[in-house]
Amino acid sequence: MRTPDGSLDAYVVLPESGSGPGIVVLQEIFGVGGYIKEAAERLAGLGYVTLAPDLYWRIEPGIALDHDEAGLGRAFETSQKLDPALAIKDSVDALATVRELPEVTGGVAGVLGFCLGGTLAFGVAIESDPDVAVCYYGSGIPGMLALADTIDCPVLFHFGGQDPYIPRDQVERVQAFADEHEGMECHVQPDAGHAFDNHEAPMFHQPEPAARAWAITKDFLARTLPA
């Protein structure tokens, strides 16, 4: 895909029907590897045209790190080099790109992100006009709430109640914010830690909370961005 600053790779998956609403899938700190590609394929299985942009392209194109201790260390180092404002800008450009795909019906598209991507998805909802936003355990979200009253699309937040990276009082702030805004939902899996959906990371993955959260996500998308 092309942006005003240059071109970057993006992983695109079409649903079996060949067309549908669009969803931009925003990466976690490990890059666009097997897990993010599988998430895009999972969403395509629900009837969505999905696009996962390589948001590390300004640092080193094509980074896809292993989901182990060494990969986690490098992932933290790489994510520290990422300019959040530029990453949101690239994500907004990805939203425009997916809307322009001929396979996307009606030009409607949302964003869904995990971890780093959860924060960026919320940033896209603040800065742009997605039709829906789904944010999995974005640690930056609590600090962005003061900017978020401009959001006018449905938003779904997922958090783990035992997340060591996001204090529970910050999660409760997001819950209170969602409760005050029509169309927003915040769901906390009480037994889950961080990145519980990531089946490629044994240190994080928790199948039962992941399945519960995914069922909520499917229901939310079916109501707000029906395929």
Please pick, among 115, 135, 153, 186, the residue that the annotation labels catalytic. 115
Q: Is 186 a catalytic residue?
A: no
Instruction: Decide if 184 contacts 199 (C-beta within 8 A).
Output: no
130/96 Cα distance (integer angstroms): 9
DSSP per residue over 119-152, as a string? HHHHHHHHHS--S-EEEES-TTSGGGGGGGGG--
**Of the listed 153, 163, 186, 197, which one is catalytic?**
163
Catalytic residue among 93, 131, 135, 194: 194
User: Is 187 annotated as catalytic?
Assistant: no
CA 224 – CA 227 distance, rounded (Å): 10
The angle at the Cα of 19, spanning 55 to 112, to the nearest 5 degrees, equals 35
Active site residues: 115, 163, 194
